[in-house]
Structure 1
Amino acid sequence: MLSRRLFLKSGALLGCSAAAHPFLSSITFASAPGDNRLVVIILRGAMDGLDVFQPYGDPELAQLRRKLSVGPQNGAHDLDGFFALHPALGDLMPLWKAGELGFVPAVSTPYRDKRSHFDGQDILEAGSGTDMPLRAQRDGWLNRLLQNMPGVESHTAYSVGLDEMRILEGPAATRSWSPATQFRLSPQGQRLLQHVWHDDPLFREAGSQAVQIISDGIEAVNEPGGPTRDARAIAQFAAARLNEETRIASFSISGWDSHAQQEKTLQRPMQRLAAAILTLKEGLGANWGRTTVLAMTEFGRTVRENGGGGTDHGTGGAMLMAGGAIRGGRALGDWPGLRESDLYAGRDLMPLRDIRAYAAWAMHDLFNVQNDILERAVFPDLDMGDNPGILA
Structure 2
Amino acid sequence: MKAAIITIGDEILIGQIVDTNSSYIAKALDKIGIATQEMLSISDDKQHILSTLKYVQNKFDVVLVTGGLGPTKDDITKKTFCDYFEDHLVENVEVLAHVKDLIESFYKRPITQLNKDQALVPSKCKVLFNKMGTAPGMLMEHEETIFVSLPGVPYEMKYLIDNEVIPYLVQKFERPYIVHKTILTYGRGESLVAEQIEEWENQLPQFIKLAYLPSPGRVRLRLTARGKNEELLKQTIEDQIQLLIPLIGDIIVGYDEEETIEVVVGRKLKEKMVTLATAESCTGGKIAEMLTSVAGASTYFKGGLIPYETEMKTKLLHVKKETIDAFTVVSAEVAKEMALNSKTIFNSDYAIATTGNAGPTKGDSVAEIGTVYIALATPKEVLVEEFNFGQPREKVIDRAVTKALEMVYKEILKN
Fold match by TM threshold 0.5: no
Q: Which has the higher contact order (CA 8 A, sep 6+)?
A: 1
Q: TM-score, normalization: structure 1?
A: 0.23
The structure whose Rg is larger is 2
Q: TM-score, normalization: structure 2?
A: 0.22
More strand by share: 2
